[in-house]
Amino acid sequence: MEAGNKKTVTELIDGVLPCIAAKQYSESYIQGFKFVFNRLAAYCKEHNEEYFSTELGQQFLSDCYGIQPGTILTKFSRQHRAMDLLSDFQHFGTVMIRRRLNRSFPVGLGDAAEGYLKRMELLGRRNNTILSHKKILLRFTDFLDSLKISGYDLLTTDAVNKFTKVVLCNYSNAVTIEYYGILKRFLQYLFQAGNTIEDLSFKMISVKRIPESARIPTTLTVKQIESILASVDRESPQGKRDYAVLLIAVKLGIRTCDIRNLRPANIDWVEHKISFTQIKTGVPLSLPLPIDVGWAIIDYLKNGRPVSDAPEIFLRAVAPYISLTNFDNILIKHMRKAGIPLDSVKHHGIHILRHSLATHMLDEGIPVTSIQGVLGQINADSTQKYLGINVRQLRSCALEVPIHA
CATH code where residue 319 lies = 1.10.443.10
Is the pLDDT assigned to residue 204 strictly greater than 80?
yes
Of residues 13 and 343, more confidently modeled? 13
Q: Is the pLDDT of residue 49 over 80?
A: yes
Q: Which of 212, 305, 204 is nearest to 262 (CA)?
A: 305
- Note the pLDDT of residue 166: 63
Residue 91 located in a structural domain: yes
> Poorest-confidence range of 18-32, 199-213, 227-241?
199-213
What total number of domains does the chain contain?
2
Could you tell me the residue range of the domain that residue 259 belongs to?
222-395
Confidence of residue 383 (pLDDT cuts 50, 70, 90): very low
47-61, 211-225, 241-255, range with greatest mean pLDDT: 241-255
Indicate if 196 and 328 belong to the same structural domain: no
Question: DSSP secondary-structure letter at 398?
Answer: B
CB-count exposure of residue 390 (10 Å: 0-12, 13-18, 19+): middle
Position 392 confidence tier, pLDDT thresholds 50, 70, 90: very low
Residue 267 has pLDDT above 80, yes or no: yes
CA distance 327 to 397: 25
Distances (CA, A) of 405 to 12, 119, 299: 53, 49, 10
Query: What confidence score (pLDDT) does residue 294 get?
Result: 93
Is 166 found in the same domain as 45? yes
Give a yes or no: residue 295 inside a domain: yes
Least confident of 36-40, 112-116, 355-359: 355-359
Q: DSSP letters of 154-209?
A: G--HHHHHHHHHHTGGGS-HHHHHHHHHHHHHHHHHHHHTTSSSS-GGGGPPP---
**Looking at the structure, do residues 286 and 374 belong to the same domain, yes or no?**
yes
Share of the chain above pLDDT 90, in %: 31
Higher pLDDT, 134 or 166: 134
228 and 332 in a single domain? The answer is yes
Q: In terms of pLDDT, which residue wins out, 316 or 4?
A: 316
232/315 same-domain check: yes
Residue 373 lies in a domain: yes
Residue (of 91, 216, 61) closest to 164 by Cα position: 91
Within a domain: residue 403? no
Look at residue 95 in the predicted model and tell me its pLDDT: 74
Q: Work out the percent of the chain whose per-residue pLDDT is above 70.
A: 74
Domain endpoint, select from 213, 233, 249: 213
Q: Verify that 208 and 246 share a domain, yes or no.
A: no
Q: Is the pLDDT of residue 281 over 90?
A: no
Same domain, 242 and 96: no
* Structure confidence by residue, pLDDT tens digits, 305-354: 999 999 999 999 888 888 888 788 888 888 889 988 766 565 557 777 87
Distances (CA, A) of 344 to 63, 219, 334, 337, 348: 19, 10, 14, 15, 10
Distance CA 388, CA 370 (A): 6
Structure confidence at residue 53 (pLDDT): 79
| Residues 286 and 308 reside in one and the same domain | yes
User: CA 59 → CA 42, 259, 261, 351, distances in Å?
Assistant: 14, 17, 19, 11
Please report whether residue 261 resides in a domain. Answer: yes
Which has more pLDDT, 403 or 297? 297
Q: Residue 15: enclosing H or E segment and its boundaries?
A: helix 9-22
Q: With respect to residue 352, please indicate whether it lies within any of the assigned structural domains.
A: yes
- In this structure, are 209 and 226 located in the same domain? no
Whole-angstrom distance, CA of residue 127 vs CA of residue 148: 31
pLDDT at residue 375 above 50? yes
Higher pLDDT, 102 or 60: 60
Average pLDDT over residues 31-56: 87
- Residues, the chain, total? 405
pLDDT at 279: 84
- CA 109/CA 116 separation, integer angstroms: 12
Domain endpoint, select from 213, 247, 272: 213
Domain for residue 18, yes or no?
Answer: yes
Residue 391, pLDDT score: 44
Q: Which residues contact 375 (CB under 8 A, 6 or more apart)?
A: 253, 354, 358, 383, 386, 389
Residues 288 and 252 in one domain: yes
Out of 191, 213, 235, pick the residue that ends a domain: 213
Residues 226, 209, single domain; the answer is no
pLDDT at 304 over 90: yes
Q: Is residue 401 included in any domain, yes or no?
A: no
What pLDDT score was predicted for residue 345? 60
Each residue's pLDDT tens digit, 144-196: 887 889 899 999 999 898 888 766 555 556 667 788 889 999 999 999 999 99
Q: Is the same domain home to 185 and 309?
A: no
